[in-house]
Amino acid sequence: MLLSASQAAIQVGKSIPTITRAIKKGKISATKIEGGGYQIDPSELFRVFPEKKNVTVTKTVTSPKMLGSETLQELNTLRAKLEAKDEIMSMKDEMFQDAKYRIEDLERQRDKWQEEAKANRLILEDHRTKAEIKQQGFIARLFRQG
pLDDT truncated to tens, each residue of the chain (146 aa)? 889 888 888 888 888 888 999 999 999 989 888 888 889 999 988 899 888 776 555 566 555 555 567 788 888 899 999 999 999 998 999 999 999 999 999 999 999 999 999 999 988 887 777 766 666 667 666 776 54
User: Cβ–Cβ contacts within 10 Å for residue 92, how many?
Assistant: 10
What per-residue confidence (pLDDT) applies to 146? Answer: 45
Reference 6, options 27, 23, 20; nearest CA is 20
Summary count for the chain: helices (H), strands (E): 6, 2
3-state percent helix, strand, coil for the chain, nearest multiple of 5: 65, 5, 30
What per-residue confidence (pLDDT) applies to 71? Answer: 83
Residues 6+ apart with CB under 8 A from 55: 10, 11, 13
CA distance 139 to 107: 49
What per-residue confidence (pLDDT) applies to 124? Answer: 86
Q: Which amino acid type is present at position 111?
A: D
What per-residue confidence (pLDDT) applies to 63? Answer: 59
Work out the burial of residue 16: count CB atoms within 10 Å of its CB; fewer than 13 is exposed, 13-18 middle, 19 or more buried.
middle
What per-residue confidence (pLDDT) applies to 135? Answer: 64
Going from N- to C-terminal start, the domains of the chain cover 5-61, 68-127
